Structure 1
């Protein structure tokens, strides 16, 4: 039969004279003739009895639509047997029938179990805890690597990167002074306003000086400076190192026999170890100046009286405690920023994601460590 002719089905039932039932397939069994073939197959029993003889000598082209009709008509076993018979069909037809038979008889996908809101919440919490544990483990490992490098280079002054250290010190300390001073000045003014509003009701306005002095010397000065540095400097460290990793510059350093931790991490860590204590001192001074200004304008407390109250009521240990936390915050912020930079995988999106992660982790760690330090000092009676 010539190519392009419509598919035909000729059925001859079983009889005593003709013998077993016989089915003759001819023409093209394609999507264009699907409706007509469906009408022709409607009266036939599906699937056909196993003893039915199938004549495919005049069968033309077959596509997936025609193969699915043959699957319905013949059944899975008969269609698979036909697809293996090299004398009945051409190789392309046999391959198509075999693929359609396997697809149609594939086991159905198991239904997803009904969701349980409580279990899903617990699973999400568990995944979050695992992620936090992995981040903590990586951070501890990187801290150990940095400390090991410091111990190795401590007795080798010729390998200290003083130029890089000075450049990073300028960026992290000097360039951050204006924003730190302005913010802490405004926060000091706000704290003084709050103290004046509350304490004036009890005739204790003079204690506003103590409130401002205690809060900034012990907590707010270092904490606000650390948070600003975490948002400003940790993100810069991550973006710088991440861009170098994306451009394969860190791999080039390793090929040249240079240690990336020694070259990139230590100058940044050392610079921030000096920068944050200086910024914390600036923050304390600016906060006290903001409180002094509000006390002078709103409470008629002269600047000399303000300074006298601070000197007589606030012990030196509060200033020491506040300043002692600054190097710890600085080390953690620098290490987190550098570690996230080394995690960048090579794309601009990865640089952005790890920069955001560095800022979030740094601020989180700073606040957690500050809270733990406050509890420790309270228990020690300091």
Structure 2
């Protein structure tokens, strides 16, 4: 029968204060014994365990802590109690850990090296994923009956039609800002009329499509990664492979087609709205009538500027779709991974869009489309 652990005070013949324990010192029946021992403040020289029956690690720790705090000697323990008390005493020793501060140069080099490896690994993964998309596209061209038109039209609606409002507002405000800042600077030289040139060429050639691509990357690229990542986490993609459905054809290609085909339309739309915003400010601030403004736009903006924006747009759309879908496919482990991959998709898409825009600028300058 299990007896609750207890203790009594006892003074031996030689005048030594002793705590004599009895019963079982185990977690099941230890009750309030730890609190009573912690509050015990009399001077104790010995802890007598000769009357203790069963003892577990909790009881051993209790005896060890009491002996450590009071400086008392443990006597009367059997072999099992001695082993347990010795074990908990060893575990209670402070670890001798000496942490030397890392060399800052070595730490920086390690971080740069790790980031470089991750960057090249991700780039290789994106290129490989793009290859699988091209392969799947060729397969659909050979077998057009497998094209999921409902999914494609739905993605066109989500990526394009539902983005008109936010992209239109953003472009209108950008047109206002370009015109206002251009007018302020050019007024110093009496050349306010060239604000029309600035607004027209900058929006059609660069900012219209670039800002649209950044907006689509944040809006649709993140959605691509989150949607596919969630399906990967819930094993829906594995189930699709099991029943013979290609995840690339069913999930990636509709999003890829939507981004590639809708971004030129959104970019051109954004440029037109930015021109309207710039024209409105020029009318209010510079007294340039709308008819004069748009006539001047036709004179100073070469058609090559429109071509530049339309050529860059589908490439940017492909980059956004590839980054979003690729990062979604890499999700594994837990829900936190979905957030990390979504963030990575947006950052990578915007970075690659800006890098490619710089290459396009140098290329078009080289071929004479200035």
* 8 Å CA contact 1:9, 1:40 repeated in 2: no
Which residue of 1 is the match for residue 31 of structure 2? none
**Residues 89 and 372 of structure 1, relative CA distance in 2, 3 Å threshold:** same
**Residues 362 and 8 of structure 1, relative CA distance in 2, 3 Å threshold:** farther
Which residue of 2 is the match for residue 99 of structure 1? 87
1:334 deviates by: 0.8
TM-score (norm 1): 0.76
Q: Deviations over 1:313-345 (max 9, x none)?
A: 222212111111101110011111112222333
Q: Mean Cα displacement is larger for which, 307-316 or 327-336?
A: 307-316
* Higher CA-based Rg: 1
Which residue of 2 is the match for residue 325 of structure 1? 312
Which residue of 2 is the match for residue 39 of structure 1? 45
Specify which of 53, 60, 64 is matched with residue 63 of structure 1: 60
Q: Mean Cα displacement is larger for which, 277-286 or 201-210?
A: 201-210
Q: How far, CA to CA, are the matches of 2:329 and 2:9 in structure 1?
A: 66
Which residue of 1 is the match for residue 289 of structure 2? 302
The answer to whether the aligner puts 1:249 opposite 2:236 as a matched pair is: yes
**Residues 6 and 199 of structure 1, relative CA distance in 2, 3 Å threshold:** same
1:122 deviates by: 4.0
Specify which of 221, 224, 246 is matched with residue 234 of structure 1: 221
* 8 Å CA contact 2:20, 2:49 repeated in 1: no
Specify which of 268, 272, 278 is matched with residue 265 of structure 2: 278
* 8 Å CA contact 1:195, 1:211 repeated in 2: yes
Specify which of 140, 143, 149 is matched with residue 153 of structure 1: 140
Structure 2 residue runs without a partner (length 5+): 26-33, 54-58
**Residues 322 and 36 of structure 1, relative CA distance in 2, 3 Å threshold:** same
Structure 1 segment 130-141 matched on structure 2, within 5 A = 130-141=117-128
TM-score (norm 2): 0.78
Q: Mean Cα displacement is larger for which, 318-327 or 133-142?
A: 133-142
Structure 1 residue runs without a partner (length 5+): 12-24, 42-55, 75-87
Q: How far, CA to CA, are the matches of 1:4 and 1:346 in structure 2?
A: 52
The answer to whether the aligner puts 1:351 opposite 2:348 as a matched pair is: no
* 8 Å CA contact 1:9, 1:26 repeated in 2: no
Structure 1 segment 10-25 matched on structure 2, within 5 A = none
Q: How far, CA to CA, are the matches of 2:192 and 2:103 in structure 1?
A: 57
1:9 deviates by: 9.8
The answer to whether the aligner puts 1:289 opposite 2:276 as a matched pair is: yes
Name the SS for the 1:344 alignment partner: coil
Q: How far, CA to CA, are the matches of 1:146 and 1:254 in structure 2?
A: 16
**Residues 104 and 183 of structure 1, relative CA distance in 2, 3 Å threshold:** closer
**Residues 290 and 26 of structure 1, relative CA distance in 2, 3 Å threshold:** closer
1:225 deviates by: 0.9
1:235 deviates by: 1.8
Corresponding residue pairs, total: 341
Q: How far, CA to CA, are the matches of 1:73 and 1:138 in structure 2?
A: 66
Q: Deviations over 1:27-59 (max 9, x none)?
A: 549985998896369xxxxxxxxxxxxxx9957
Which residue of 2 is the match for residue 163 of structure 1? 150
